[in-house]
Amino acid sequence: MPQEKYPANCPWDLGPNQKQAHQDEWILVNGDQFVKFSKNKEDQNWFHINKNDEVHEKFLAYQARLTYQKLLDKGFKLQGKK
């Protein structure tokens, strides 16, 4: 079974080259589809992922990273800084 690709950097990571780390949410877009990622304000180990303002799910941080990478692999692009 192939191992899942784990992203080295996500936009919410802190670091010198991260320009979006302090945003409240991060949006990936592919055509008319979009997925919003946001940290749970009460517990930073959890993320809320909202697809097209319809499906809202809660994921642990590592699951959010894997989901983020899978969406990038499907052609989604991170929307620019607000």
* pLDDT of the residue at 58: 94
Q: What are phi and psi of 27, to 5 degrees?
A: -120, 125
Cα gap 41→51, rounded to integer Å: 19
pLDDT classification of 2: cutoffs 50, 70, 90: low
Query: What are the tens digits of pLDDT across the range 46-68?
Result: 999 999 988 889 999 999 999 99
Question: DSSP assignment, residue 64?
Answer: H
Question: Which is more confidently placed, 37 or 21?
Answer: 37
**pTM above threshold 0.75:** yes
